[in-house]
A and B are shown apart, each in its own frame.
Chain A
């Protein structure tokens, strides 16, 4: 295979990388008031990358660079998801970028770099590639968290995220060395083959490695007990970045979990299966109960995002039963899409104002959009959140995990309370007269801002009403896995 082919197969990532660098340089050389141009170029880069991924969609699955990465429908699915989330994040931060004096070039550069990292995590079929892509993503997001240098909470969040994140990455790396020590390889396929065909008892190092890997990835998907950083970081980060962390970073984490645990380490199911069940129960319960007592909406959404990771872990736990593998894995992918729509939407509203008293009648359309997001987060039909929960609980019931499904159901009832409280403030509280109304009205008329809300709100409803087409795509991505 000639080198030119590699460029073709990697084109989505290459376009992103070059756009990122170009945008960074352009910001230095161009006049300061030309922000719209830079922004458009970055958006075009993301769209171009999506277009080339679309070109690759119908091709066959193949390994590249000595099985360091794998290009298949699964990796392309997550590439699409990351690209979409990056675009929405960029769009929803555009009005804030204009208003605040954030360094535009750097902001977009790190956003696109994070996107490369997130996409690459789903491509990785080698522990080293996985580690590198995770680092690309994490470093970019650490910086984005602290991009509002003047605000204390932003810097605090960035520092916390960085320190704890570095710690967790160290765990991951340590886990990789243990796995390498036990199996003699970092390639997923070789590891899987080794585990499957090994006639001897596996060395205990592999279990240590497994545990360390779980810690590393568990941190990224904010599974309890590795969730302590979430509320502070989510609260401190600029709101669009918080949305990206809750959706994109988490989705990337889950893509790695699926490839690494469900496919590669599938012969160790008896060992990690129980741990995942425990994680799942803890994550949803702790997330929900902590969210109940929050008064700041960003913190509330942070804990709720922990809880939603717990629901997804139900499906991951169910996927250990081979007969529900397809259904459970598809439901993970579906839930990630569902969660992305509603969470990006909700955070976009929060970036608009955090004082939601009487908001619904003041801005009727924004109020309806927020209502749709909250109802979807509760899981009320006909929203996408309902379909997502439906598929997750289906996989749990079909896999025989009745108790897990029941705990999940109890949790979603608990959760409905704090989402409903948002609706209470939205419609049933008196408006507070704040001076920030001028900012609000300028934002409310912003076309870019509204387009994000339209996309997410319509997506939340439409995918909820007609999930079939999305499900077809997901089924294809899942079959490419094995």
Chain B
């Protein structure tokens, strides 16, 4: 094993943090140069993260590339990172989106701080996905709030302060509940095993008391504390109200990261923590949670239909899509869960791309009202091609990535309960309705506003931003096997063993 292989995850986590310091201490220079420095750092990061694919052994469900360093011995806390089939692609999604977001930035003031924030955010996101220690996870989970808070608050729109406070406090409220649950688990572990440990793997072997007769027993309360923290982040109906505000006010890059990665964190946390730690409570609450996700799917779609603001429409469509992802997870069969994780990647890419699209026309027109556009196909042909592809991906047309994910989730749901599948499938119809209708109003028809006649088409930079997204959309849609095969083992293991979940550390034999 080489040094790089042993330390790859920690390098990935701390490289952006170091990069943010470099950017922050960089001598005064032009904005474009700063942007390029940050872009370079994030590109190196992406290149390094591709090594994960090389070192990752897809025939094992165990945690790989583990690094464990003692951190707070009094609590048994260690810097414990690793990766498995569930987190592998989410890590890559993060490293893939960050350079794109940095490149797409059209921010003009305080570029230095903006770039530093994005890089710190990347550290926090990667740390969240690879932590296998409860305290470490919580540290990264909360750390992520800080750069996002500034991204929305400093570079956001008119109501940015309201939006960012709401975002912070919602997530914080969920987070502290989770903190209480974590502390409780640590002491439960101490009572049962006589040693302090905050390692997630040790928590899996805990016996957490559950009583079927009482709604509120220890396990169900712990489950709820974790679940609420994650469901706020997802966000699932009825915890979704922070999302439209945050999205609408965030700068384009912030929205892309928020929709692309941050929302996935909720679903990921649910899958990694809430489900295997508290299987009985999960069984108990499952029907309610499934009902909430189905409500979220339909409600989000109807809200999206009613929007007149492009960004709001995409934001509400996110709620609908995330409902579908949660449904897939809660179904707990192979198709459902793998569809869900696949859909997380698709949603990250297609919704991220949609926000970029909205950002591109917002930069030109400084409005996002659907009514102030129309007939853009004639003025911006390249743009309309990109927009169309992304739209199709979002409504899950076959041969785009969205189709694979949605299909697998619906298939999994149908195996479990056809009625749920029928209700959830409404997302296909409603999704096509609001997306195509929006596309039609923005792109087709006569050019009604004279300002729109002079709009310039995509610049080279914007093409560079959109192209990787579109490539991924079709690659994942036409040949999803490399993606699915690497998560397969972990998902199979989770689905069949979630009641006695127990992850080990993968030892490489040479």
Q: Which of B142-150, B325-333, B459-467 binds A?
A: B142-150
Residues of B within 8 A of A424 (CB): 153, 161, 165
Residues of A within 8 A of B186 (CB): 394
- Within 8 Å by CB of A380, from B145, B160, B173, B183, lies B145
Residues of A within 8 A of B139 (CB): 381-382, 386
Interface string of A366-380 (1 = CB under 8 A from B): 000001000100111
Q: How far, in angstroms, from A467 to B71 measured CA to CA in the complex? A: 9
Residues of B within 8 A of A378 (CB): 172
- Within 8 Å by CB of B165, from A409, A420, A427, lies A420
Q: Which of B174-182, B310-318, B488-496 binds A?
A: B174-182
> A393 contacts B154, CB within 8 Å?
no
- A398 close to chain B: CB less than 8 A: yes
- Within 8 Å by CB of A427, from B135, B145, B153, B184, lies B153
Q: How far is the CB of A358 from chain B (nearest CB, A)?
A: 11
> A409 contacts B74, CB within 8 Å?
no
Q: Give B156's nearest chain A residue, CB to CB.
A: A428
Q: How far, in angstroms, from A397 to B180 measured CA to CA in the complex? A: 8
> A382 contacts B143, CB within 8 Å?
yes
- B168 close to chain A: CB less than 8 A: yes
Q: How far, in angstroms, from A352 to B29 measured CA to CA in the complex? A: 29
Q: How far, in angstroms, from A390 to B143 measured CA to CA in the complex? A: 15
Residues of A within 8 A of B286 (CB): none
- B30 close to chain A: CB less than 8 A: no
> A398 contacts B168, CB within 8 Å?
no
Residues of B within 8 A of A406 (CB): 180
Interface string of A342-384 (1 = CB under 8 A from B): 0000000000000000000100100000010001001111100
> A416 contacts B183, CB within 8 Å?
no
- Within 8 Å by CB of A413, from B74, B113, B169, lies B169
Q: How far is the CB of B120 from chain A (nearest CB, A)?
A: 12
Q: How far, in angstroms, from A421 to B72 measured CA to CA in the complex? A: 32
Q: What is the predominant secondary structure among interface residues of chain B facing chain A?
A: helix
Q: How far is the CB of A471 from chain B (nearest CB, A)?
A: 5
Given known pairs A380-B143, A381-B138, A423-B149, the reply for A409 and B168 (CB within 8 Å) is no
Q: Give B184's nearest chain A residue, CB to CB.
A: A397
Q: How far, in angstroms, from A421 to B153 measured CA to CA in the complex? A: 11
> B179 contacts A390, CB within 8 Å?
yes
Q: How far, in angstroms, from A271 to B431 measured CA to CA in the complex? A: 64
> B72 contacts A468, CB within 8 Å?
yes
- B187 close to chain A: CB less than 8 A: yes
Q: How far is the CB of A400 from chain B (nearest CB, A)?
A: 11
> A380 contacts B187, CB within 8 Å?
no
Q: Give A427's nearest chain B residue, CB to CB.
A: B154
- B110 close to chain A: CB less than 8 A: yes
> A427 contacts B150, CB within 8 Å?
yes
Q: Give A471's nearest chain B residue, CB to CB.
A: B74
> A390 contacts B165, CB within 8 Å?
no
> A393 contacts B160, CB within 8 Å?
no
Interface string of A448-482 (1 = CB under 8 A from B): 00000000000000000011100100000000000
CB interface residues, A 34-83, toward B, < 8 Å: none
Q: How far is the CB of B167 from chain A (nearest CB, A)?
A: 10
Q: How far, in angstroms, from A386 to B168 measured CA to CA in the complex? A: 16
Residues of A within 8 A of B169 (CB): 413, 416-417, 420
- A302 close to chain B: CB less than 8 A: no
> A394 contacts B168, CB within 8 Å?
no
Residues of A within 8 A of B150 (CB): 423, 427
> B161 contacts A428, CB within 8 Å?
yes
- Within 8 Å by CB of A393, from B138, B145, B180, lies B180
Residues of A within 8 A of B161 (CB): 424, 428
- A412 close to chain B: CB less than 8 A: yes
- B73 close to chain A: CB less than 8 A: yes
Residues of B within 8 A of A380 (CB): 142-143, 145-146, 172
CB interface residues, B 29-87, toward A, < 8 Å: 71-74
> B149 contacts A420, CB within 8 Å?
yes
Can you list 9 pairs linking A and B with CB atoms under 8 Å apart?
A379-B176, A380-B142, A393-B179, A397-B187, A413-B172, A416-B168, A417-B169, A423-B150, A423-B153
Residues of A near any B CB (own CB < 8 A): 361, 364, 371, 375, 378-382, 386, 390, 393-394, 397-398, 405-406, 409, 412-413, 416-417, 420-421, 423-424, 427-428, 466-468, 471
